[in-house]
Amino acid sequence: MEPQKPSLRCCTICPRNCGIDRIAGQMGFCHGSMLPKIALVSTHHWEEPPISGTKGSGTVFFCHCNLRCVFCQNYKISAEGFGKTVSIERLSEIFLNQQDKGVHNINLVSPTQFIVQIASALCLAKNNGLKIPVVYNSNGYESAEMLKILNGLVDIYLPDFKYWDDEIAIAYSEAPRYASIAAQAILEMRRQLPQDVFDTEGILQKGLLLRHLVLPSHFLDSFKILDWIKASLGIDTYVSLLRQYTPMHQANTIKALSRRLTTFEYEKVTEYFLNIGLKNGFCQSKRSAAQEYTPIFNLAGVEKNSSNTKGENVW
């Protein structure tokens, strides 16, 4: 079956199905406009080793979001919308500029609300010589049907699986049915890219790497997500267990989220991962839970002749 033809005239790009006309300037839940909006183009060294490698990952941070995570570390661009609108042509040029810098991949961060514009920019960039892998780095709250337009354009899916419990998903991200929606989206990602392929240096070239941010007070929710991964994707699935939770944005308004994760909680989840037989995991060091690892959104690399940024490794 052909993928559904997406239209910004009646936006159903993501599971929110707002139905608004983005071309006429109407605003839906995410606040995404007709053209892509970005806040930072950088070389990122803090992603998982097969993504950042030695040369870094060429991140492009998109503005706005279809979730409302109370603990969002990127709230300046997700909730407050800091960023700059660019044309499809400029976006494709940014992808090619990143490639010229010698990074391992193009890393599309929070891309969901601009999936259609990104697909157009990727087609253009590929026609103009984009060769390095493209990473789709999303929050998991995706329409499985809409992801079909990325088939053949994206090489690596890097989705979050944030919550299992619906009450938590609603309370922390205003995301009803998060688990069932993310599960369907991830199955579609795996369908498109059934094999994980690494180069001789261990850098991922094609495949799926799932992320789960372990939250304070909720390690049982993490267990359920790991159970689903094992049952639905298999024990060889690559999973990154993030330890970097820091109470930012509005997190202090919720008691359970108003503190950092303890070593006990994180180790509960890593032990469970091993006990149920999952084989391919990445874990983070304790020092990853620091505000200084939050990117500085300053429009670097967005306009022509602006430079980008670097950082140190926390894995």
Applying CB under 6 A, the residues found at the interface with ligand SF4 are: 11-14, 16-18, 20, 28-30, 32, 66, 113
Phi-psi group of 239: left, alpha or beta (phi > 0 → left; psi -120 to 50 → alpha; rest → beta) = beta
Least distance from C-beta 11 to ligand SF4, angstroms?
3
CA 139 to chain centre: 5
Instruction: Output the smallest distance, CB 138 to ligand SF4, in A.
Output: 12
Nearer to ligand SF4, 45 or 64 (CB): 64
- Between CA 28 and CA 16 the distance in angstroms is 9
**Closest CB to ligand SF4 belongs to which residue?**
28
Distance CA(288)–CA(188), nearest Å, equals: 30
Least distance between ligand SF4 and beta carbon 40 (Å): 21
Which CB sits closer to ligand SF4, 10 or 193? Answer: 10
Tell me the closest approach of the beta carbon of residue 76 to ligand SF4, in angstroms. Answer: 19
Compare residues 17 and 280 and give the one whose CB is closer to ligand SF4.
17
For 82, the token pair is 């800091």
| Residue placing its CB nearer to ligand SF4 in the complex, 9 or 286 | 9
- The three state secondary structure string of 80-139 is CCCCEECCHHHHHHHHHHHHHCCCCCEEEECCHHHHHHHHHHHHHHHHCCCCCCEEEEEC
> Which residue type does 313 have?
N
Nearest distance in Å: CB 28, ligand SF4: 2
For residue 43, give the 3-state DSSP assignment.
Answer: strand
Smallest distance, ligand SF4 to C-beta of residue 113, A: 4
**Closest to ligand SF4 by CB, 51 or 109:** 109
Q: Which is nearer to ligand SF4, 17 or 252 (CB)?
A: 17
**Least distance from ligand SF4 to the Cβ atom of residue 8, Å:** 8
Please check whether residue 204 is in contact with residue 235, taking contact to mean a CB–CB distance below 8 angstroms: no
CA 102 to each of CA 201, 203, 296: distance values in angstroms, whole numbers, following the listed order: 15, 14, 22
Q: Which is nearer to ligand SF4, 31 or 230 (CB)?
A: 31
**What is the CA 167 to chain-centroid distance, rounded?**
22
Yes or no: say if 270 and 283 are a contact pair by the CB < 8 Å rule: yes
